[in-house]
Amino acid sequence: MSAARLVRFTAVLIVLAGYVVVFRSGEGRIDAALAEGARLADLLGADERIRLTEPALVAERAHLMRNAAGPNLHADRARLVALFVREAADTAARHHTAIRAIVASDARQAVAATQPFETVGLDVTAEGRYADLLDTLAALSNGPVLASVDLTAIARAGSAATTSALTASLHVVVHRLSDVRARPR
């Protein structure tokens, strides 16, 4: 090989080595920067999707806060029964039924030292269509007053066999937290 060819060959090797050192490392940095940019774009897209769901989340939070108060367990017996009667009247009106009678029963239990709840028993008579009575029963069970509602009897209202109205007898046990401090030790 002649000296001129060797010089050219060396020059080409130097250029190739320079390309590998300079440009390839630069391409690696560019690829890394592009990958980081794509990752940040994905994060921003996820944040934007979350931001767009914010009104729904705020509405859901408000709904949960309204319902988080849960059943009224700390009221005294008279206030709790009055609250249940008011809720029963509202529920009956919403479900197109009528509350014909609410009578105190003898289901009031003495609270043992280990029981957290005192109970007040009520017998409720409601009148309406079958589906409406079932809706009323479910709504009373899930109302703001903690109550166990049992359907004890159901019969046709009145003597006419053509009427679709039914009379339902319900046994309701209203629960309240007992006052632990007031119990004898």
pTM reported for the whole predicted model: 0.55
At 38 the pLDDT is 92
Higher pLDDT, 60 or 163: 60
Mean pLDDT (whole number) for 1-19: 84
CA distance 124 to 132: 15
At 146 the pLDDT is 84
Instruction: Read off the tokens for 15.
Output: 């250029």
| pLDDT confidence bin for 185, thresholds 50/70/90 | very low
Higher pLDDT, 182 or 172: 172
Going 152 to 158 to 161 to 163, the CA torsion angle's sign is: negative
| pLDDT confidence bin for 183, thresholds 50/70/90 | very low
Cβ-contact 127, 157 below 8 angstroms = yes
At 168 the pLDDT is 93
Listed by start position, the domains of the chain span: 3-65, 77-182
CATH architecture group of domain 77-182 = 2-Layer Sandwich (3.30)
| pLDDT confidence bin for 184, thresholds 50/70/90 | very low
Half-sphere exposure of 20 (CA within 13 A, CB side): 6
Phi and psi torsions of 8, nearest 5°: -65, -45
Residues above pLDDT 70, as percent of the chain = 81
